[in-house]
Amino acid sequence: MNATLVVPLVVLGAVIALIALRQVAGLRLRIWQIMVLGAAGMLLARSIDPDEAVRSLDVDVMLFLGGMFVLGRALEDSGVLAQLSHRLFARARSESALTALVVVGSGAASAMLMNDTVAIVGVPVVVALGRAHHLDVRPLLLGLAFGVTAGSVVSPIGNPQNLLVALALEGNPFVTFAVWLAVPTAIALALTYAAIRLTSRGDSKRPLAPLSPPATARGGLARVSRIAFVLLLGLVAARVLLVAVGSPIEVRLTAVALIPAALVLLLARERLSVLRGVDWPTLAFFAALFVVVEAVDSAGVTGEVVKRLGSGVGETPLILVVSAALSQIVSNVPLVALYLPALQEAGADTEAYMALAAGSTLAGNLTLIGAASNVIVVDVAERRFGVTLGFWEFTRIGAPLALAQLLATGGWLALVG
C-alpha cells in the first residue's frame, strides 16, 4: 500500500475504534474529544498541514450549525420549545403512538429544516417526553436519529449531500426528488418505526397519562424566540419558493440560520446566557471532522476507490453499496462530492443521481458515525442529560435497518427507472 495512505488510515481507524470502544472499555472520552485527537494526530503526522486544515473547515456548515444552536437554545430556555412539543406529542396515548410521532414528526421536519437542525432541537424534546412518561428514553432517541436521516431523503434541502446532488441536476430539484424518492422515504420511515418497536422492551399498549401543559412562555426571550422561529420558517419557505420558480435570487442556508440567531442575540437580554448554552463541543467535533476527512481525501483513499469502479460507476446497485461502505469512512458529504464528477463524466441518468442521494443518506443509519446528525443526538443526550447510547447499541439496530432501507430504495429505483 502507498505510504501516503497508511498514516491517515491508521489515524482514522483509531478514531473509529475509540468511538466504538469508549463504552465497552469504559473510556471516558467524549466523541468530540476523540475526533479532536484524530485531527491533532493528522497534523502531528503531517498528513495535512495547518494551512490545509484551516481551508478544510466548511465555514458555511459551521455558521449554519452555530446559528441553529443559538436559536435552539433560545427556544428551549424560553419555554417556547416545550409548548410546541406539547402541541405535537400530547395526543399520544401509548408508547407506540409516541414512537410513531417522534419518527414521523422528526422525519417530516428534517425534510424542510435539514436533519442536523432537527437533531439539535429534538434531543431535549425527546428526553423531556420520555421522562415525563417514565419511559426508557433511548428508543425514542434512536427513533429521532433514524427518523431525521430517513425523512431528509426526499428533499434537496434535507441534508448537505442532497444539496450537492440537487445542484448537479437540471430542472426543479424539489419535483425530481419527490417523484423519485417520496415512496422510498415513506418506506424508510415505516421501517424505522418497526425497528424501534421490535427492539424496544417497553409495553407498547400501556396507556400514557395525559401530559400537563407546560407553563406559558412569557418574557422578552420568549417573544424574541417566537419571532425568530417564525422568521426561520419564513426563510425556509422563501428558499423553497425561489428555487421552485427558478429565481436567480438565492436564500443561502447560512442566512436561514444566522438571521434568526442574530435577532436573538441583538434583541434578547439573555444573550449571554444563550451563548453560554450553545453546544460548543459539537462545533469542535465538526471542525475536527473536516480536518480528519480532508487528510483522508488528500491521501487519495476515496478517489482511488471511485476510480477503480470503472464503467459501473453509474449503476444503482453499485452506487448504493459504495455509499453504504464509504460513508462510514469519510462521511457522506465528501463521498458525494467525490462521486458526482464520476457520474457527470459517465453521463449518468437521473436514477443514478437519486441513488447517490438516497444511498449516501440512508447509509447514515448503519453506524453511529455514519451521519453527523447521529453524533449530535448521541453527544447532546450524553453531555446534557446523562443518557448514553453506545456504538454497538446503535449499530445492532441501525445496521439491519439501513440495509433494509437501502434494499427497498434499490428495488423502487429499479422499478421506476
For the segment 394-405, what is each residue's pLDDT rounded down to a tens digit?
999 999 999 999
Please, what sign has the CA dihedral across residues 308, 312, 317, 320?
Answer: positive
Domain presence at residue 73: no
Residue 121: pLDDT band (50, 70, 90) is confident
Q: Which residues contact residue 116 at a Cβ distance below 8 angstroms, ignoring those fewer than 6 apart? A: 64, 65, 68, 159, 372, 373, 376
- Three-class SS state of 94: strand
Q: In angstroms, what is the C-alpha Rg of the chain?
A: 21
Helix ranges, 90-219 (H): 95-113, 115-132, 137-151, 160-167, 173-199
Q: How far apart, in whole angstroms, are the C-alpha atoms of residue 74 and residue 79?
A: 8
Task: For 184, list phi and psi in degrees, rounded to 5.
Answer: -60, -35
Closest CA to 353 of 183, 168, 151, 156: 168
Domain presence at residue 64: no
Domain presence at residue 209: yes
Please count the structural domains in the chain. 1
In the block, cell 503526522 appears at 45
Closest CA to 148 of 183, 184, 105, 182: 105
Instruction: Quote the mean pLDDT of the chain.
Output: 84
Domain presence at residue 251: no
Residue 296: pLDDT band (50, 70, 90) is confident
Mean pLDDT of all residues in 314-339 = 80
pTM: 0.76
Mean pLDDT of all residues in 177-187 = 95
- Residue 119 in this model has a pLDDT that exceeds 80: yes
Residue 202: pLDDT band (50, 70, 90) is low
Environment class of 54 (CB within 10 Å of its CB; exposed 0-12, middle 13-18, buried 19+): exposed
Residue 3: pLDDT band (50, 70, 90) is low
For the ranges 79-93, 101-115, 391-405, the maximum mean pLDDT occurs at 391-405
Q: How many residues does the chain have?
A: 417
Domain presence at residue 304: yes
Residue 389: pLDDT band (50, 70, 90) is confident
Closest CA to 8 of 359, 281, 298, 399: 298
Residue 169: pLDDT band (50, 70, 90) is confident
Q: How far apart, in whole angstroms, are the C-alpha atoms of residue 75 and residue 376?
A: 18
Domain presence at residue 230: no
Residue range of the domain that includes 202? 3-47+80-214+279-416
Domain presence at residue 412: yes
Residue 216: pLDDT band (50, 70, 90) is low
- Three-class SS state of 207: strand
Q: How far apart, in whole angstroms, are the C-alpha atoms of residue 212 and residue 230?
A: 25
Q: Specify the higher pLDDT residue, 245 or 380.
A: 380
Please, what sign has the CA dihedral across residues 323, 329, 335, 338?
Answer: negative
Q: How far apart, in whole angstroms, are the C-alpha atoms of residue 36 and residue 286?
A: 9
Q: How far apart, in whole angstroms, are the C-alpha atoms of residue 62 and residue 68?
A: 10
Amino acid at 337: A
55-83 pLDDT tens trace: 988 888 788 888 888 988 898 888 887 78
Cell readout for 366 is 448503519
Contact between 357 and 165 under an 8 Å Cβ cutoff? The reply is yes
Lowest mean pLDDT: which of 145-154, 267-276, 324-333? 324-333
Closest CA to 232 of 216, 247, 218, 253: 253
- Residue 204 in this model has a pLDDT that exceeds 60: no
Give percent of the chain with pLDDT exceeding 90: 31
4-34 pLDDT tens trace: 778 888 888 888 788 767 655 566 777 788 8
Domain presence at residue 267: no
* Positions of E strands within 319-368: none
- Residue 282 in this model has a pLDDT that exceeds 60: yes
First to last CA, the chain: 39
